[in-house]
Amino acid sequence: QVQLVESGGGLVQAGGSLRLSCVASGSIFSIRDMAWYRQAPGKQRELVAAISSGGSTAYADSVKGRFTISRDNAKNTVYLQMNTLKPEDTAVYYCRIQANNDYYWGQGTQVTVSS
């Protein structure tokens, strides 16, 4: 089994920054894609950013130029650096990884951006 633990969420003023981390542990043989999703109240969960095992990245249009996804394969960790945060970035952020040919989700971390 694979467990994901997220950290780094919190309350920040508009224009501020946060860095989210997601560490995978357990019986991990291989990790392929890693990604961050978010879900705001009353809205569907949406993809924020993704990174492949080769380091290719993709971003939602709403965060391009402000957010950066990265990974540390030695630590089984994926990061999301969020800069110039806006109130509309307020949501619960979830990491998802593809490990051992299956998908696993974190428990979510709250990000709140005040105006």
pLDDT in tens, the chain (115 residues): 899 999 999 999 999 999 999 999 999 999 999 999 999 999 999 999 999 999 999 999 999 999 999 999 999 999 999 999 999 999 999 999 999 989 999 999 999 999 9
The pLDDT of residue 4: 96
CA distance 70 to 74: 13
The pLDDT of residue 60: 98
Spatial neighbors of 18 by CB under 8 A, at least 6 apart, are 8, 9, 10, 12, 82, 85, 111
The pLDDT of residue 97: 97
Helical spans, DSSP H, in the chain: none
